[in-house]
Amino acid sequence: MDLASCGLDGPILHELGNLKLLDTLYLFKNLLSGLIPKQLGNLTNLMNLDLSENMLTGEIPYSFTNLKQLKLLHLFYKKLHVSILNRVADWPNLESLRLHSNNFSGVIPHYLGQNKKLEILDLSFNKLTGRIPVELGSLTNLI
């Protein structure tokens, strides 16, 4: 489902979590606001999720750990907090992770290096601290 750049506003409907066969959900560049509904974690066939460039706030739902097929996750230009990085190891097929320009804080977890298929990693413009984990050196597919 591609509803990007459509001028949509209001919250993301939790009923979208009923679309069990959905493999792509693009809602970027809209005026969507509020929290990301936890029901999106029911979309276990989802491979591409882009909610970037909206006015979403709050936390990434824990239910996103169910999205084992994710290849692309873009959640940039938001006011999100509580680092989703703690859940990245739950997405073994992830190829593109763009989380720049949020309010994520803390250290970059070493287990991010387990995502061997990762090609794009953008964590810029957050409030990350600490050292770059040596395990990131094993992400040989990064471009």
The answer to whether the Cα torsion of 47, 87, 40, 44 is positive or negative is positive
Predicted pLDDT of residue 83 = 62
Average pLDDT on 51-79 reads 90
For residue 68, which of 23, 109, 98 has the smallest C-alpha distance? 23
Higher-scoring residue by pLDDT: 97, 88: 97
Query: Which residue has 């959640």 as its token pair?
Result: 75
Predicted confidence band at 104 (pLDDT cuts at 50, 70, 90)?
Answer: confident
Residue ranges of domains in the chain: 9-138
What pLDDT is recorded for position 59? Answer: 82
What is the mean predicted confidence (pLDDT) over 116-132? 93
Distance CA 22, CA 113 (A): 28
Query: Which of the following CATH numbers is that of domain 9-138: 3.80.10.10, 3.90.1640.10, 3.40.190.80, 3.80.30.20?
Result: 3.80.10.10
Grade residue 106 by pLDDT with cuts at 50, 70 and 90. confident
